[in-house]
């Protein structure tokens, strides 16, 4: 019975960790979208909040999820330029 309880506890901890990762991933996407919108408007923006969340996500280290890369200002500017070329 003890093994069963340990497995349930482990699964619950894994789920809790995954949910925390998911929340951070949503926050990261939100910050990326904010930066993209600022860049489109020609306003100053920073990737600091994006990368802070990225680093937290990578510390969680889920084995089945690849690590996220830090985002640079140049990466976002290039992305926005590619969007304008497509239009």
How many of the other CB atoms lie within 10 Å of CB of 12? Answer: 10
Tell me the per-residue pLDDT of 27-60, one tens digit each, with 9 for 90 and over. Answer: 999 999 999 999 999 999 999 999 999 999 999 9
The whole-number pLDDT of residue 1 equals: 64
3-state secondary structure labels for all residues of 22-69: HHHHHHHHHHHHHHHHHHHCCCCCCCHHHHHHHHHHHHHCCCCCCCCC
Residue 19 reports pLDDT greater than 70: yes
pLDDT mean across residues, the chain: 92
Tell me the per-residue pLDDT of 67-86, one tens digit each, with 9 for 90 and over. Answer: 999 999 999 999 999 988 87
């Amino acid at each position: 019975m003890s093994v069963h309880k340990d497995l349930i506890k482990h699964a619950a901890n894994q789920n809790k960790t995954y949910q925390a990762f998911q929340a951070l991933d949503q926050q990261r996407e939100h910050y990326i979208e904010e930066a993209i919108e600022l860049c489109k408007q020609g306003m100053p923006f920073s990737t600091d909040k994006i990368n802070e969340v990225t680093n937290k996500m990578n510390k969680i280290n889920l084995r089945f999820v690849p690590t996220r890369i830090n985002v640079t200002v140049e990466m976002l500017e290039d992305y926005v330029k590619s969007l304008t070329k497509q239009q």
